[in-house]
Amino acid sequence: MINVFFAEWRKLRRPTLFFGTMGAVMAVTALVTSLLFLLLDSPRGNAREGRMISRQTLELAHGVSIGFSSAAGLLGLVALCVFASQTAQEYTYGTLRNLLVRQPRRLTLLFGKFVAMKSFALITVVVSAIVAISLAFALSGKANINTAAWTTSDARWSLIQTFINVFISVVAYGTVGMILGILFRSPIPAISLGVAWLLIVENIISATVKNSGKWMPGQAMTTIASGGDINSSYLHAIGLVAIYLTIGSIAVAVLFRRRDVAN
User: pLDDT higher for 126 or 3?
Assistant: 126
Q: Is the pLDDT of residue 134 over 90?
A: yes
Question: Does the pLDDT of residue 43 top 80, yes or no?
Answer: no
As a whole-number percent, the residues of the chain with pLDDT over 90 amount to 48
Ranges assigned E (strand) in the chain: none
| Dihedral class, residue 209 (left if φ above 0, else alpha if ψ from -120 to 50, else beta) | beta
Question: Looking at residue 207, what is its pLDDT?
Answer: 79
Average pLDDT of every residue of the chain: 88
| Radius of gyration, CA atoms only, the chain | 19
How sure is the predictor about 214, in pLDDT bands with cuts at 50, 70 and 90? confident
pLDDT at 263: 55
